[in-house]
């Protein structure tokens, strides 16, 4: 199977499959309710030219749909997590804990902070799912 580029429609679809086949994610995220924009912006270290918006509808341990969004106004998700490409690469390869990324200002989050703080295990399982995707990064 060939590698899928991060970020891309293919990559987020792979993540959707991984989440929906993970019992560990289903258990950890059973109380999670809220859709997301994951916003990957250009940074100085890489050749990303445009900001990418990945939409994921996460609901009670399942991912109901996921796709790349061309028009950022197409959705008004409950959560928007954003950061430069290099930081996202570290997150999806499990080199940067997403909560650490937020606390250190490497990533930004808008949304209900209570929901986020009580579902940190779901975030960890999501990162584990990311690492199971055979992804290709611009730096490789």
Binding interface with other proteins (CB under 8 A): 96-97, 99-100, 102-105, 108-109, 113-114, 117-121, 124
Cα(72)–Cα(47) distance, integer angstroms: 21
Question: Cβ 101 to other proteins, closest distance in Å?
Answer: 8
CB-wise, 77 or 98, nearer to other proteins? 98
CB-wise, 33 or 65, nearer to other proteins? 33
CB-wise, 12 or 28, nearer to other proteins? 28
Question: Cβ 121 to other proteins, closest distance in Å?
Answer: 6
């Amino acid at each position: 199977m060939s590698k899928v580029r991060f970020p891309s429609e293919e990559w987020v679809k792979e993540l959707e499959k991984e989440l929906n086949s993970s019992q560990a994610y289903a258990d950890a995220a059973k109380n999670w309710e809220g859709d997301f924009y994951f916003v990957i912006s250009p940074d100085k270290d890489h050749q990303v030219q445009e900001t990418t918006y990945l939409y994921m509808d996460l609901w009670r341990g399942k991912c109901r749909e996921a796709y790349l969004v061309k028009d950022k106004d197409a959705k008004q998700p409950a959560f928007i997590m954003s950061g430069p490409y290099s930081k996202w690469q570290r997150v999806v390869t499990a080199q940067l804990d997403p909560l650490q990324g937020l606390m250190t200002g490497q990533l930004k989050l808008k949304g209900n902070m209570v929901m986020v703080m009580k579902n940190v295990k779901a975030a960890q399982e999501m990162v584990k799912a990311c690492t199971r995707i055979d992804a290709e990064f611009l730096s490789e």
